[in-house]
A and B are shown apart, each in its own frame.
Chain A
Amino acid sequence: MKRYAVLYAPNFRLQATLRHSPQLAGESVALVEVVSGGKSHIAELNPQAVECRVEIGMTPTQAAARSAGIRFLSADAGHERSAQDILLQFAEQISPFIEATANGVVTVEWPSEKSVEEKELTAQLVQPLCSLGLDIRVGVAGTPFLALLASRSARPVRYVENPATFLVPLPVEALLPSEELAATLRTWGIKTIGELRALPTRETCERLGPEALTLWERAAGGQARPLRLVKPVEFFSEESDLEHRIETLEPLLFLLRRFLERITARLEAAYLVVGKLRLGLKFENGSPYYRDFTIPQPTRDADLLFRMLHTHLENFTSEALVVAVELSAKPVRPIAEQFGLLERGLKDPHQLSETLARLGALLGANRVGTPELESSRHPDAFHLRPYDANAASLPESEIPPVGVPWLRFRPAIEAKVVLNDGEPAYLYSSRITSSVREKRGPWRIAGDWWGQLGWSREEWDIETDDGRYRLAHVGNEWFLDGIYY
């Protein structure tokens, strides 16, 4: 027999927002929403606010009159999305068949071969979600509707073995009748589902119309139905629209640290690690900023990930204030790596990644990496690629290396050369002024002659009083290209 579990987060919008304001724990808090006409009213309350006799539908002024210390929060779509994603990701641990029934309500089709243990549910869902700031209830029953009803009265887990016994004492309002129908039933003196089911079905439906049929079906516990399946998002993300703009590093790091802790806690529950991290910032002038971090050795160590963000942000400046922050992690399965017998692994891949980031910040990203030679005869034809500590080794070239390597002046030093029979005889430059004792050359090289970027040059090796140099003749100009060091 199929069974369904419903994960229900009461006061979902308030909970989703409160997760991001841990300093309000223990205080009376109300979620305020703006209704048509620009007026605002209380939409959701936490238990402390209910104790102070604040009620839903009151205006903030009325609420403040009942409880002077009440704090008001406004709903945040980003926070709600994050919280809903968390619910879906945790629900997926039970079964891949999940439905996002509503905000804060997730229905799961329970695998028939899996036994349902209250302890297991508490340990697998309720406690981890509680540590992430979401207080949930779980209801398990034979139909999605019954499971939803069970979840609303669960503390924190409730099973419905016998639907009739469970439904009888519940109020009729639990069946979600329309206002008109509810009023009619009230005038009849019908308060509970048990009293409703005691009425003759056919006659009652004839009098109340087709809506009563639906109500009757619900009163019988509803029907098993196919779920509208959803796939949880691939990324684990946390985001926040900031009430107070951020202009310094410290509060931003504080926020990111909290995001990271939440993300890693979620990943831990799912037995996953962070493969990639994406930081998103939105500025006051509307411009966004995104930065992707590839994690060298996937991990969910919040300290390590935080250090990576910290190193990057230390050297980051912006012209406008930060108004929204988003951090998302692409999860991957932990990798079990086996090195070759004679291969030496990195001592600490994360430290290397950190060092590379710091070197990039110190010198500029285009000045740190591994040189990749280009297929061109142009002097200095190479580009830098990001350093890969585990780059595959290449086979040895069949041509043995020839000639003495030299160091290149970047940029090349302009020189004046006195020629004797077309050969360099004396050299003037900012680096050296000397007679040319000995020379070898010229070597004429040219390339790209078929295109607009064609080039040609003449090169000489010269010996001076100061050492040996590589001299280049390009057009009508002479340059000291390098030195034999």
Chain B
Amino acid sequence: MPTSSEKVIQLRQLLVEKFGRCEPSADEIFATGVLLLDEAGIPRGGITEIVVSARHGAGMLLVCGLLHSLAKRNERVAVVDGKDSLHPCGLSQRDLQRVLWTRCSSARETMQAVDLLARDGNFPVVVVLLGLNPPWELRRLPGTTWHRLHMLAEKSATALIVFTSFPLVGCARLRLSAQADFPLGKLHILRSGLAARLTLQVERRRERNGDEAIRRAVCA
């Protein structure tokens, strides 16, 4: 006698066979709950690259905002840490409660971990931190790796959000550039106040049918 979960899985398979995949479409936008990201429109089932060039804290501010917002909604999130550099003490336990943190030591390991998580399909969002990986290591990654990840994310309707220091992911459906403008003295004020000084710029948006639109619209 199958268990309830097995029955649900069997029923899903039956429905997919009869009516096609009924999971969220890869065209959908994933609502993160972070105003800036939602305005840019994070695609579900694709790679979003967020380039944080100036080292002022904009990247981690976005990551923390994302984790906080997802924790509010009880969403599961995987953080693939390219250089084992996440500082959990800067976050609250509530935000970390459903976070799967994978602590990698190289870009190659990171890609393998992302591959597994993108295939898994149980995490609606996978955040990949590559900000501290040396550029030479990242440039050695074959371009096909990103294409494969893109296909996997599309299949499992996972939103892959990759934080980098320079444009890296050629097949990203959305490339954003994050900027922050707060003086050193303002590093220790309330985070809500800091977020107001954050800007996200859409560098490139690629539609699913392959059309590419290069925009330079300031989101905030």
Contacts and interface: CB of A to CB of B under 8 A. Distances in A.
Contact of A404 (B57, B96, B101): B57
Contacts of B89: 373, 379-382
Size class of B's contact patch?
Answer: 35 or more
Contacts of A273: 3
B96 A403 contact: no
A299 B6 contact: yes
A148 to B, nearest CB: 33
B29 interface: no
Interface in A382-407: 382, 384, 387, 389, 391-397, 400-407
Interface string A403-415: 1111111100000
Contacts of A447: none
Interface residues of A, number: 69
13 contacts: A334-B1, A362-B113, A363-B113, A368-B101, A380-B89, A404-B61, A407-B60, A407-B132, A440-B184, A467-B54, A467-B55, A467-B56, A484-B57
A355 B121 CA distance: 10
A78 interface: no
Interface string A58-76: 0000000000000000000
Contact of B86 (A299, A344, A408, A438): A408
Tell me if B's interface is mostly helix, strand, loop or mixed. Answer: mixed
Interface of A: 268, 271, 273, 297-299, 301, 334-337, 343-344, 346-349, 351-352, 355-356, 358-359, 362-363, 367-373, 379-382, 384, 387, 389, 391-397, 400-410, 438-440, 461, 463, 466-468, 482-485
Nearest to B95: A401
| Residue from B98, B99, B112 having most chain A Cβ neighbours under 10 A | B98
Nearest to A390: B98
A359 B126 CA distance: 14
Given A468-B56, A485-B55, A373 B88 contact: yes
Contacts of A466: 55
B87 A363 contact: no
Given A346-B122, A381-B89, A402 B191 contact: yes
Interface in B46-66: 52, 54-57, 59-61, 63-64
B3 A299 contact: yes
Contacts of A346: 76, 122
